[in-house]
Chains A and B, each alone.
Chain A
């Protein structure tokens, strides 16, 4: 993980170099806001994952299975009250695991609300049904069914995203990937995921450095057509570098005895409390299924 932190810090340095804004060129590579967020998130998540809380004390396999069951429950529910209860349960789990709610608000709730909110916004006007109100001036009608469906969409998206975030915030990334084995994900896929995770940081840093180098050699802003040419060229260089890295990694793996079979070190311990957690998590969708029959 040290290399990762170094990569994250490296990418961080690039973003600070970018601060004097040059109008036309600052948008070319978006690594920072989105990815840096994720990189720092990876480090902070490690800190959160090592805290002494409820979810942190569970086996990663129990958490992966539990998160999936809770997301299924949130998707299955046909009741807004049930959805609100499930969301409240996610908040209680976050508090019990010492995850600051401000963090969930910033990372999950606002983001989901911004995206899904825009999509759900026209729904009260467009979905046909019982009219409950009319907008003054515009004379658009608001229907009860439209309001309910907007609430369903936002409620489901928020609840599912919160459970997914709880999993990633209380479990280190390598553990999440290894725990996917328990869901029947093939071992080769888990190995590929682990390597992908590693090389995302390498390639992001490379791309940020390429953009930095280009900017350092350039006077004045580029025309949009030149910018597009630059992006396409950079993607091409990155592609060549990517395939070169793949070749190198392959040689290194062969040199270390890789013969096409993937082996993972599996050092998880499944205890009684993990079994209880999975059982509880399984009861929720089962109960919903039974009640909605």
Chain B
């Protein structure tokens, strides 16, 4: 995900750099105040750690390997501000001395991975872990989801930065000057690898590290759990394991939907009213009541108003219908889980807040 030089225009580099600078400024002020003289050695050594973690090669299902970026780990142990600085420094060392990621693109890489990645990881981890005990299994799941989401949002940002290049920068003949693929290609191409392999690697490393620290060095988890003491019983993962496995099975079984004939009742598009076959199908599904002659006016008006990001569950660029279907199930299921976890955490917080207020 390290963007090399030459993929982004100078103006994109400048904009992403300018977006990163305020975060670095605030982070260095906060970290300096919090850690005082300890800031310099701590950030240095943790940057080196973040660099080293990227060298661990994780065996992934399917015989491939992947490596984690480690932003979620840094954010959970150090908090978001220190993590932003440490991961940024690791990225700078990689760009300058190892040719991994561009020098002009450093601003974009730092924004994607160090700043947004750390912030998302920390926010999600806090939200999902809630006020559970430091040794609770919920924190392990929170770490996994935080790592998975952080790396995917970083990848999505990189994909968007790539995808806007051909819209904005052309030479006289119309040839794209920088990354040549539009959003419709850049986003799925980037996300495919990250939603699967890279996301899995990050989730495993983060969850594994949280579980390790719970057992051997629980004090390190205190930074991201203000006011918690290290006690409590492990729960969460073991209790809900069957539910998670069931959900995974359902997602994988989703192409069964392709076998089902016809369209679900009431889910017709405006074009279904215009073809004889479509009209026959609607009539057959509605106890032989003929559909209206013209496309209903409200349907016609609203259908142009909203277009789904993944129309008909299989994006046009994806040639395998079944694969697109599974991918849609994964994305959709993931979004729903996230929304639900966010809501339950919020509800939990409100419930706790009310008795105190009374």
Contact = CB atoms under 8 A, between A and B. Distances in A.
A141 interface: no
B205 A254 contact: no
A247 B316 CA distance: 54
Given A38-B97, A160-B104, A188-B28, A242 B48 contact: yes
B47 interface: yes
B44 to A, nearest CB: 3
A240 B209 contact: no
Contacts of B73: 235, 239
B13 to A, nearest CB: 7
B137 to A, nearest CB: 15
A99 interface: no
B93 A197 contact: yes
A204 B41 CA distance: 17
A111 interface: yes
A262 interface: yes
A258 B99 contact: no
Interface stretch (A46-54, A122-130, A212-220): A122-130
Given A157-B5, A236-B212, A75 B175 contact: no
B52 A168 contact: no
B155 interface: no
A113 B92 CA distance: 22
Interface in B85-117: 85, 89-90, 92-93, 95-99, 102-104
Contact of A156 (B5, B57, B99, B175): B5
A270 interface: no
A168 B99 CA distance: 10
Interface residues of A, number: 93
A164 B99 contact: yes
Interface in A173-219: 173, 176, 186, 188-189, 191-193, 195-200, 202-204, 207
A94 interface: no
B46 interface: yes
Nearest to B63: A224
Contact of A203 (B49, B77, B85): B49
B333 interface: no
Contacts, number: 261
Given A75-B13, A233-B212, A242-B46, A152 B7 contact: no
A28 interface: yes
B37 interface: yes
B171 A75 contact: no
A200 B6 contact: no
Given A153-B179, A236-B217, A239-B77, A231 B173 contact: no
B213 interface: yes
A57 interface: no
Contact of A116 (B4, B44, B104): B4
Number of contact residues on B: which range applies?
A: 35 or more
A148 B173 CA distance: 9
A260 interface: yes
B176 interface: yes
Given A204-B55, A235-B53, A239-B49, A262 B40 contact: yes
Interface in A233-265: 233-240, 242-243, 245-246, 249-250, 253-254, 258-260, 262
A111 B100 CA distance: 10
Contacts of B266: none
Interface in A5-53: 24, 27-31, 34-35, 38
A72 B178 contact: no
Contact of B45 (A28, A76, A195): A195
A117 B37 CA distance: 46
28 contacts: A28-B56, A71-B103, A76-B10, A79-B171, A129-B174, A144-B175, A148-B173, A148-B175, A149-B177, A152-B180, A159-B6, A160-B104, A164-B95, A165-B99, A198-B44, A199-B44, A199-B47, A200-B52, A202-B48, A203-B48, A203-B49, A227-B59, A235-B209, A236-B209, A240-B216, A243-B77, A246-B42, A250-B41
Given A126-B180, A232-B205, A253-B40, 18 more contacts: A30-B55, A75-B6, A78-B177, A116-B6, A144-B175, A150-B180, A152-B171, A160-B103, A176-B97, A188-B40, A196-B45, A200-B52, A203-B51, A232-B208, A232-B212, A235-B208, A236-B208, A258-B37
Interface of A: 24, 27-31, 34-35, 38, 67-68, 71-72, 74-76, 78-79, 107-108, 111-112, 115-116, 120, 122-123, 126-127, 129-130, 144-150, 152-153, 155-157, 159-161, 164-165, 168, 173, 176, 186, 188-189, 191-193, 195-200, 202-204, 207, 224, 227-229, 231-240, 242-243, 245-246, 249-250, 253-254, 258-260, 262
